[in-house]
């Protein structure tokens, strides 16, 4: 499938900001399931540099803007040809040892409730593909998809306690459960093309990748209860949502800021 993406993130500042510096992971890398043909990131007045591919195989780039600015629009535009690989991440160049993804972060620290959930998977299934599917099912049962029910820096333990959340929260719970069972797991940020019945706010999406012996990394979308197929574009990954954030930035100045995101993901015939 050929998918085109237009994604604009607009930051608006109450009072103008100086010396804006952002680290971007906005450009997907090609792998066995996706071929990135053209992709462009642009910001008026900004300079880009220090590009490299990190150990996890993600493209990283640095943006600086001297300012003063009261608004920054980061425009991402590109197209990708995708193939269904049944969720298996293939031919993705990376050098990080999978076991590094057994570390827990502040957001994915296991709590009593999460440990109890993980116990529902029988120990002989831990580490297997079947075990990973079971975990995805448990998340679907326990964490209802309710938009607006959580805030951005909620931990997996808090989400588990209240029993609902959005794709970020479901993914955090899933990777925490996998790590409890000794399965390396990571957070993936990307795009999802949804057809007429699909939800538009899911166009910018998140899911988990769990490392399974013999297969390698396999994607699990807890929100949609499936493994990513040719409707998905994988952009970048990390230990949790913060680590996998496509934009991390800082600027000089005070006052509130707001972020407005518009995404359109379309399929071409």
Residues making contact with another protein (CB under 8 A): 19, 21-23, 47-52, 54-56, 60-62, 64, 95-97, 99-100, 102-103, 239, 248-250
End-to-end CA distance of the chain: 8
| 34 DSSP β-pair partners | 31, 82
Q: How far apart are CA 103 and CA 69, in angstroms?
A: 38
Closest to another protein by CB, 1 or 102: 102
Count the alpha carbons within 13 Å of 200 in the hemisphere toward its beta carbon.
5
DSSP state of 221: B
Shortest separation between residue 110's beta carbon and another protein, angstroms: 14
Q: Are the C-beta atoms of 18 and 268 separated by less than 8 Å?
A: no
Give 33 or 98: the residue with its C-beta nearer to another protein. Answer: 98
Smaller CB distance to another protein: residue 32 or 51? 51
Distance CA 201, CA 191 (A): 11
Closest approach of another protein to the CB of residue 50, in Å:
4
CB of 214 to another protein, least distance (A): 18
Toward another protein, which CB reaches closer, 97 or 259?
97
- Please report how the helices 112-119 and 167-180 are oriented relative to each other, as an axis angle in degrees rounded to 10: 70
CA–CA distance from 85 to each of 1, 31, 231 (Å)? Answer: 12, 11, 11
Q: How far is the CB of 33 from another protein (least distance, A)?
A: 22
Q: How far is the CB of 131 from another protein (least distance, A)?
A: 20
In this complex, which beta carbon is closest to another protein, that of residue 101 or of residue 193? Answer: 101
């Amino acid at each position: 499938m050929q998918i085109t993406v237009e994604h604009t993130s607009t930051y608006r500042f109450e009072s103008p900001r100086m010396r804006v510096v952002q680290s971007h992971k906005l450009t997907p890398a090609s792998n066995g399931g996706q071929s990135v043909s053209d992709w462009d990131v642009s910001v008026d007045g900004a300079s880009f540099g220090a590009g490299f591919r990190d150990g996890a195989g993600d493209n990283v780039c640095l943006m600086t803007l001297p300012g003063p600015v009261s608004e920054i629009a980061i425009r991402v535009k590109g197209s990708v040809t995708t193939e269904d690989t049944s969720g298996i991440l293939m031919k993705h160049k990376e050098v990080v040892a999978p076991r590094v993804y057994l570390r827990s972060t502040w957001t994915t620290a296991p709590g009593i409730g999460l440990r109890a959930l993980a116990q529902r998977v029988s120990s002989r299934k831990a580490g297997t593909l079947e075990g990973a599917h079971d975990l995805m099912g448990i998340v679907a049962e326990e964490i209802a998809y309710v938009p607006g029910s959580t805030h951005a820096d909620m931990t997996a333990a808090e989400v588990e306690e209240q029993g609902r959340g959005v794709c970020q929260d479901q993914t955090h719970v899933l990777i925490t459960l996998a790590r409890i069972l000794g399965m390396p797991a990571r957070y993936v940020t990307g795009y999802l093309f949804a057809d007429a019945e699909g939800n538009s706010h899911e166009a910018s999406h998140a899911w988990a990748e769990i490392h399974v012996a013999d297969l390698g990394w396999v994607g699990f979308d807890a929100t949609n209860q499936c493994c990513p197929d040719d409707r998905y574009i994988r952009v970048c990954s990390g230990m949790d949502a913060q680590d996998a954030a496509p934009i991390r930035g800082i600027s000089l100045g005070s006052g509130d800021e707001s972020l407005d995101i518009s995404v359109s993901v379309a399929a071409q015939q």
